[in-house]
Amino acid sequence: MSSTIKTYGIWIVAALLLLLFPYVFSAGASLTTMCLMGIMIIFALSYNMLLGQTGMLSFGHAVYYGLAAFVTAHTMNWAAKAGYPIPLPLIPVAGAATGLFFGIVFGWVSTKRGGTAFAMISLGLAELVYSSSLILRSFFGGEEGISADRTKLFRVFGYNFGPQIQVYYLIAFWTLLCVILMYAITRTPLGRMCNAVRENQERVEFVGYNPQFVRFIAFSLAGLFAGVAGSLAAINIELAQASFVGAGQSGVVLLAAYIGGVAFFVGPVLGAIVVTLLSIKLSDFSEIWLLYFGILFITVILFAPYGLSGLLMMHAQFWRGPLGSKIARFGRLLGAYVIAAIPALIMLAGAILLIEMIHHVAQKGAEGANMHFLRRSYLTVNTRSVLPWVGGLIALFAGFFAFRFTWPTVANAWHKALLDAQRSGK
């Protein structure tokens, strides 16, 4: 009984949270954001079946996402027109089938090789599909794409899926289902052989497995789940566009997986949440948010190669001993982090101010000298005055040196926490 709770408990909690989220985050915009997050979580986890689990770097995972979105839009239109009794919640099955189908077809070609060759083939296939999306107009709908009306489908229990809240629950259901399935797959013979192929594909051949076939199955299954994500995306915005199969979409999923961390199952989930949030919220503060996005990516690669989940997991070793000592230990560590964070934020503010002013002068000098820093009118900065430039530089450099000065404090706190945790035993 207790092992049952241990096994399924986390999923039950996740299901309850998904049920409650719309009441906690009740603003209309949050509902939209959460829908996008769910879709991105499935997509990023499916991508990690390749990158994190099997060690395959794909530059074209959006192909399976995008093609499934188009098939979904067509299926919705066809079902609505012919009046077939296919309810909307079952439509992602068509997306899954599409993703699986193209995963099998393209996977058969591209998984013949691993490593760099695989990465290059994935890039080539992505370009191939993207360019055909501009040629095959009847299927891809040209520039405007294929739109669909999700409310026209067969209704069950009177739900027409017009309101976003109904779509939210549809997406939440599929997200939970896909996450559970993808997690379960990591704990099967195939899942473990994927890890083995990632670690040492040559040795795999000498324990009876064909690494090529392991890659092929992993790729096909990743296509299936990417297909579900693409299908939900089409349902969510009632549209499938050429950009869905494009390099940008393939890039975003790579970023999400990497920022979250590919070494842990939960990594891409975190990455999907952060990347979705940033891509929505950052544009409220800056026109050049993509630049900051890129800087974040580089920072993660350089300083936290295991991503956000890696940073979190590094702290698991401190979770030892009685509760009181755990809290005290984390409290001291947190104190050191805050001390380091203050100058780091000053440095960051200086850098952003300078970047924004350069952008303003270079791109929008004609609109006048005044710039709304972070797009806030109460933060108006005169770019022709010397003061903000000097201030920005001082914040940048002083912040940086003060930040460096705090590193020993953090290292010391870390070291102490480690000793303390070791002393407390298990």
Nearer to another protein, 190 or 393 (CB): 190
- Binding another protein (rule: CB under 8 A), the pick from 155, 203, 364, 376 is 203
Q: Does 188 bind another protein (CB under 8 A)?
A: yes
Interaction between residue 202 and another protein (CB under 8 A)? yes
Binding footprint of another protein, residue count (CB under 8 A): 26
Among 192, 364, 384, 404, binds another protein (CB under 8 A): 192
* Beta carbon nearer to another protein, 185 or 234: 185
Q: Which of 44, 193, 226, 229 binds another protein (CB under 8 A)?
A: 193
Q: Which is nearer to another protein, 34 or 196 (CB)?
A: 196
Q: For residues 242 and 111, what is the distance between their CA atoms, to the nearest angstrom? A: 25
Backbone angles phi, psi at 382, to 5 degrees: -90, 110
Interface residue with another protein, options 91, 125, 172, 185 (CB under 8 A): 185
Contact residue for another protein among 209, 292, 297, 414 (CB under 8 A) = 209
Please, which residue, 56 or 234, has the CB nearer to another protein? 56
Residues 274-293 that bind another protein (CB under 8 A): none
Place of tokens 């067969």: 154
Stretch that binds another protein, among 65-73, 87-95, 188-196, 277-285 (CB under 8 A): 188-196
Min dist CB 210 to another protein, Å, is 5
List all residues 6 or more positions away from 45 whose beta carbon is below 8 Å from its beta carbon.
178, 179, 182, 225, 265, 268, 269, 272
Residue 179 binds another protein (CB under 8 A)? no
Cβ contacts of residue 247 below 8 Å, gap of 6+? 59, 60, 62, 126, 127, 130
Using rule CB under 8 A, residue 199 touches another protein: yes
**In terms of CB distance, is 226 or 352 closer to another protein?**
226
The answer to whether 317 contacts another protein (rule: CB under 8 A) is no
Among 206, 366, 378, 426, the residue binding another protein under the rule CB under 8 A is: 206
Contact criterion met (CB below 8 Å) for 146 and 74: yes
Query: Of residues 67, 171, 176, 204, which one binds another protein by CB under 8 A?
Result: 204
Of the candidate residues 184, 314, 334, 345, the single one contacting another protein (CB under 8 A)? 184
Q: Which of 85, 158, 208, 324 binds another protein (CB under 8 A)?
A: 208
Decide whether 53 or 75 has the Cβ nearer to another protein.
53
Q: Can you give the chain as a three-state secondary structure string?
A: CHHHHHHHHHHHHHHHHHHHHHHHCCCHHHHHHHHHHHHHHHHHHHHHHHHHHHCCCCCCCHHHHHHHHHHHHHHHHHHHHHCCCCEHHHCHHHHHHHHHHHHHHHHHHHCCCCHHHHHHHHHHHHHHHHHHHHHCHHHHCCCCCEECCHHHCECECCECCCCHHHHHHHHHHHHHHHHHHHHHHHCCHHHHHHHHHHHHHHHHHCCCCCHHHHHHHHHHHHHHHHHHHHHHHHHHHCEECHHHHCHHHHHHHHHHHHHHCCCCCCHHHHHHHHHHHHHHHHHHCCCCHHHHHHHHHHHHHHHCCCHHHHHHHHHHHHCCCCHHHHHHHHHHHHHHHHHHHHHHHHHHHHHHHHHHHHHHHHHHHHHCCEEEHHHCHHHEEECCCHHHHHHHHHHHHHHHHHHHHHHHHHHHHHHHHHHHHHHHCC
Look at the block and give the residue holding tokens 């960051």. Answer: 348
CB under 8 A: which stretch of 8-16, 183-191, 332-340, 408-416 binds another protein? 183-191
Residues 212-251: x where in contact with another protein by CB under 8 A, - otherwise, as a string: -xx--x---x------------------------------
| Residue 172 vs 217, nearer CB to another protein | 217
Comparing CB distances to another protein, the nearer of 161 and 216 is 216
Integer Cα distance of 311 and 71 in angstroms: 39
CB of 109 to another protein, least distance (A): 19
Stretch that binds another protein, among 31-39, 200-208, 252-260, 377-385 (CB under 8 A): 200-208
Q: How far apart are CB 192 and another protein at their closest, in Å?
A: 6
CB of 285 to another protein, least distance (A): 39
What residues line the site for another protein (CB under 8 A)? 184-185, 187-193, 195-196, 199-200, 202-210, 213-214, 217, 221
